[in-house]
Amino acid sequence: MKRRFLDRGLTYLLIVIVVVAVGSLFYVIEHPVQEKFTECYLLGIEGKAMGYPGEFVLSGTKVISVGYEEGDYVRNIFEDKGRLILGIVNREQEEIAYEVAVKIDGESAPVWREGEWRESIGPIILEHEEKWEEEIGFAPESVGDNQKVEFVLYKDGVPYFEEPPRLWVDVRGGE
């Protein structure tokens, strides 16, 4: 008699466990846990992960030529800024206001967008899963090798990345 009572109790317990497991499975399928994050990336001017501005020639403090690295080849263009494509994708599950600033060797630098120089770009307001890509430009003002150009992304006024997307550029004076 005791054994039958124990068997019946274990059977009911097993049924409850199966029902809870199946219910949990359906809940997870209907309400998946989604990670919240933002993507920020740099592309070369032709929309590929190559062709970044890497060599600049200055006349005084003004850029007169930019070399775009394409593998072992450098394409030089006479222009006043290095150009690239900046991309941001919002995967934060809500609308977010972004801003982007450029720093060269830790110092704020103007950023070129839509035909004019600005202190920063923004606000860029993106809905969840919305993507923003646009051509921007920057111009170093002093000669030196291995200058770090950082593209600092701000989310709601706070820097988003500990290590923002960056390029290393060499800048020399014109002859």
Q: Do residues 116 and 132 share a domain?
A: yes
Mean pLDDT of the region 81-88: 96
The helix/strand/coil state of 143 is coil
Q: Do residues 55 and 126 share a domain?
A: yes
Give the model's pLDDT for residue 175.
61
**Residue 10 structural domain:** 1-33
Distances (CA, A) of 68 to 36, 54, 73: 34, 6, 8
Give the model's pLDDT for residue 7.
72
Q: Do residues 162 and 91 share a domain?
A: yes
Mean pLDDT of the region 102-130: 95
Q: Which residues contact 96 (CB under 8 A, 6 or more apart)?
A: 38, 90, 125, 126, 155, 156
- Cα maximum dimension of the chain: 103
Residue 148 or residue 15, greater confidence:
148
Q: Do residues 77 and 65 share a domain?
A: yes
Q: Do residues 61 and 114 share a domain?
A: yes
Mean pLDDT of the region 119-134: 94
Q: How many domains does the chain have?
A: 2
CATH number at residue 126: 2.60.40.10
Q: Do residues 28 and 47 share a domain?
A: no
Q: Do residues 7 and 77 share a domain?
A: no
Q: Do residues 97 and 11 share a domain?
A: no
Q: Do residues 64 and 6 share a domain?
A: no
Residue 74 or residue 57, greater confidence:
57
Q: Do residues 21 and 82 share a domain?
A: no
Query: Alpha-carbon distance 156 to 124, whole Å?
Result: 10
Residue 1 or residue 72, greater confidence:
72
Give the model's pLDDT for residue 32.
65
Q: Do residues 27 and 55 share a domain?
A: no
Q: Do residues 120 and 92 share a domain?
A: yes
Q: Which of 23-32, 67-76, 152-161 has the highest mean pLDDT?
A: 152-161
Token pair for 80: 């006043």
Q: What are all long-range contacts of 57-62, with beta carbons under 8 Å and residues at least 24 apart? A: 57/171, 57/172, 57/173, 57/174, 58/140, 58/141, 58/142, 58/143, 58/171, 58/172, 58/173, 58/174, 59/173, 59/174, 61/141, 61/142, 62/139
Residue 119's CB is within 10 A of a number of other CB atoms, namely 12
pLDDT tens digit sequence for 4-47: 767 777 787 788 888 888 877 777 777 666 788 899 999 998 89
Token pair for 128: 């969840």
Q: What is the mean pLDDT of the chain?
A: 89
Instruction: Determine whether 166 is exposed, middle or buried from the number of CB atoms within 10 Å of its CB (0-12, 13-18, 19+).
Output: middle
Mean pLDDT of the region 62-88: 90
Q: Which residues contact 70 (CB under 8 A, 6 or more apart)?
A: 44, 50, 51
